[in-house]
Amino acid sequence: PRADRTVRVASLDMGGESTFSLDAVNTDHDQRWANYVRGMASVMQEAGYTLAGVDALIHTTVPVSAGLSSSAALEMAAGRMFEAVAGLAIDPVQLAVFGQRAENNFVGVNCGILDQYTSAVGQAGSALLLDARTITSQNVPLTPDIRVVICDTRTKRELAGSEYGRRRAQCEEGACALTAFYPAITHVRDVSLAQFETHAGELDADVARRCRFIVEENARVAAFATALSAGDRSAMRDLCAASFAGARDLYAITSCEMQVMLAAMLAAPGCIAARQAGAGFGGCMAAFVEAGSETAFAAQVTPAYQAATGIEPHIYPVVASAGAGRVE
- The catalytic residue positions are 115
Amino acid at 316: Y
Q: Using an 8 Å Cβ cutoff, are 102 and 63 in contact?
A: no
State the DSSP H helix or E strand holding residue 126, giving kind and residue range, or none if neither: strand 126-131
Cβ contact 72:119 at 8 Å:
yes
Q: Angle CA(126)–CA(286)–CA(97) in degrees, nearest 5?
A: 55
CA–CA gap between residue 164 and residue 67 (Å, rounded): 12
3-class SS at 201? helix
Coil, helix or strand at residue 42? helix
If DSSP codes are grouped into helix, strand and coil, which group holds residue 203?
coil
> Concatenated DSSP letters for 268-304?
STTEEEEEE-TTSSSSEEEEEEETT-HHHHHHHHHHH
Nearest to 85 by CA among 120, 50, 58: 50
> How far, CA to CA in Å, does 64 sit from each of 25, 29, 59, 67, 125?
24, 18, 11, 8, 24
DSSP output for 152-168: E-----TTHHHHHHHHH
Q: In what order do the strands lie in the sheet with 54-58?
A: 17-21, 6-11, 54-58
Quote the CA–CA distance of 31 and 226 in Å, as a whole number.
43
Q: For 8-34, b where at least 16 C-beta lie within 10 A, e where not — what string? A: ebbbeeeeeebebebeebeebeebebb
139, 128 contact by CB (below 8 A): yes
